Amino acid sequence: MKDLMTDIFINYSKYIIFFHVLSAIIWIGGMIVVRFSVHYAMQNISEPKIKLARTLEILKSFFNLVIPAIVLLIITAVFMAIGMGFKGTELYMIVHIKEAIWTIMTIIFIYIYIKRDKAEKAFVSGDLEKTKKELSLLPKYLIPLNIILGLFALYFGITLRGF
């Protein structure tokens, strides 16, 4: 299996790296846009029900874009980790650091997904306070944490490429 993955990486490395970087851009860039552009624009909506409805809609659209990117990021990461032959080198620790960062980010993303799902159920039932409560951690802590982790992962990715 390792030999097959190495062969695939050797033959398609440009595409694998391209889709890996593109996936990271979509995930991290999307979080930056949602947190620092969309979130602030949403503050101009004074009607709580409309504001919460738009927030849920935006997050759902964001998830539809990001979930395939996360899956693609993981798949390409496996091909790169095996195909680039880092095992046994001094850079192998950085591979593990990146794996840990992306794993933590994925766990946080899953938690965000669950919080949004709970918020939508509360919204549908008419409980705006619970909806607001379920969403409150996202812009304050969870999305900024994932942005910071993602930027570290990008830095380590550049380190692995020898820059």
CB hemisphere CA count around 121 (13 angstroms): 7
**Range 144-154 average pLDDT:** 97
Scanning 25-142, the segments in alpha helix (DSSP H) are: 30-33, 39-42, 48-83, 92-124, 128-135, 137
Range in 67-71, 89-93, 98-102 with the lowest mean pLDDT: 89-93
Residue 17 lies in domain: 2-160
Closest to 32 measured CA to CA, from 149, 119, 160: 149
Give, as one character, the DSSP assignment of residue 46.
Answer: -
pTM value is: 0.93
Per the prediction, the chain carries an average pLDDT of 95
Count of structural domains, the chain:
1
Q: What is the pLDDT of residue 53?
A: 98
Give the span between the Cα atoms of 69 and 52, in whole angstroms.
26
